[in-house]
Amino acid sequence: MSRKFVRAIFPGSFDPITNGHLDVIKRGVKLFGELIIAVGRSPIKNPLFTPEERVEIIAELIKDMPGVSVEGFERLTVEYAAEKKADVILRGLRSLTDVQYEFQLAMTNRSVTGIETVFIMTSEEYGFTSSTLIRQIASLGGDISNLVPESVYKRIKEQLKK
């Protein structure tokens, strides 16, 4: 039986990208023919990294992952997905709170554009992590070295010195 080629986008602000995000990417790439990590403009007032820096950071992390790419976007996720001819939107789930929010978003996206959403539960060790929490801990001098890739940890430390 032949498998259908499926292109997925994994949208988010990724400010910063976490080990939880990478877990979803590594598991998602096994499911799809192509996975585009879509770095959106964050509504956060004080982002840690610019969207361009986030794309650069992620590009370095995924350079050895066939079928995975990263780029920025500045419009509705469903518009971006349509432009990329994506079959699905990939989302990671950490908690019941995520499920409620993501369910509503997935239903709206499907109702408006017909695009499906595929959810991957994050691994247990990343279920509590969020980029917001990591930014807060880092800004207060806490140790986040086990929550983000080593290269990201170094970039965060450099960024906070500025």
Helix (H, G, I), strand (E, B) or coil at 20: helix
2 is catalytic: no
Give the tens place of pLDDT for each residue, 99-120.
888 899 999 999 989 999 999 9
Q: How many CA atoms lie within 13 A of 28 on its CB side?
A: 32
- Among the options 54, 131, 135, 155, which is catalytic? 131
Token output for 142? 């806490």
- Among the options 3, 30, 45, 161, which is catalytic? 45
Alpha helices by DSSP H, listed for the chain, are 19-28, 51-62, 77-83, 96-113, 131-139, 150-161
**Model pLDDT, residue 89:** 97
**Cα 85 to Cα 7, 104, 126, 138, distances in angstroms:** 7, 22, 30, 37
131 is catalytic: yes
Give the tens place of pLDDT for each residue, 118-134.
999 988 887 788 898 99
- Among the options 54, 91, 94, 135, which is catalytic? 94
CB neighbourhood size of 24 (10 A): 25
Give the tens place of pLDDT for each residue, 57-101.
999 999 999 999 999 999 999 999 999 999 999 999 887 777 888
**For residues 36 and 86, what is the distance between their CA atoms, to the nearest angstrom?**
9
Q: Domain coordinates of the chain in residue numbers?
A: 7-161
The answer to whether 29 and 67 are in contact (CB under 8 A) is yes
The pair phi, psi for residue 149, each rounded to 5°, is: -60, 155
Tell me the average pLDDT across 153-160: 93
Is pTM beyond 0.85 here?
yes
- Among the options 21, 54, 91, 135, which is catalytic? 21
Instruction: Name the fold adopted by 7-161.
Output: Rossmann fold (3.40.50)
Instruction: Categorize the per-residue pLDDT at 2 as very low, low, confident or very high, splitting at 50, 70 and 90.
Output: low
